Amino acid sequence: MMKSWILSVFSSVLLVSLLSLILPEGKITRFVKPFIFLSVITVILYPLSNIQKFLNEAVFDNNKIIETDKSFLMQITISKIDLYSANCIKIAENCGINGSEIKIEYNVSENYEPIINGVQINLENAVITAKDEHIVILQTLKKSISNYLRIDETGVKINEFPNK
């Protein structure tokens, strides 16, 4: 495609040069030269009219269906869950509980969005630094996590002694 365009430009410039030499000086030349130069400009700019076709042929392969990289999308979903877990740990720390472990139970939707089913909060190695009563701290934690993850409070399970 590029070779034919270069050849067309070269040919039209050569033809214009020959016509300029052949045409006699006078009123006719004044009217003919603009049409000749317009034709040269048209030949030079012609590929721009086919730019969409060129892009489709050169850049995109129309015979292939664009597929998403499912492993990449799954990795993004897992990263979201990891971020949710880290934020839940921060919520626990804000409630006065340090050293908690958070496990988010989830499924993945068709469009790779995490669907959170529940949360397991392990407090076996945690230290409660808040001055409130133990039960109030745990209720506040449960409510805060359920609000953050937008799940029912019954989906938040707190295990103080999971191995016993």
Token pair for residue 7? 């050849």
Q: Which fold has domain 70-159?
A: GMP Synthetase; Chain A, domain 3 (3.30.300)
Residues 102, 92: contact at Cβ < 8 Å? yes
For the chain, the domains span: 2-58, 70-159
Residues 87, 56: contact at Cβ < 8 Å? no
Q: pLDDT in tens for each of the 164 residues of the chain?
A: 567 778 888 888 888 788 777 777 777 777 777 777 788 888 777 776 666 665 666 555 555 555 667 888 999 999 999 999 999 999 999 999 999 999 999 999 998 899 999 999 999 989 988 888 888 999 999 999 999 999 999 999 999 875 54
Q: State the burial class of residue 2 (Cβ atoms within 10 Å of its Cβ: 0-12, 13-18, 19+).
A: exposed
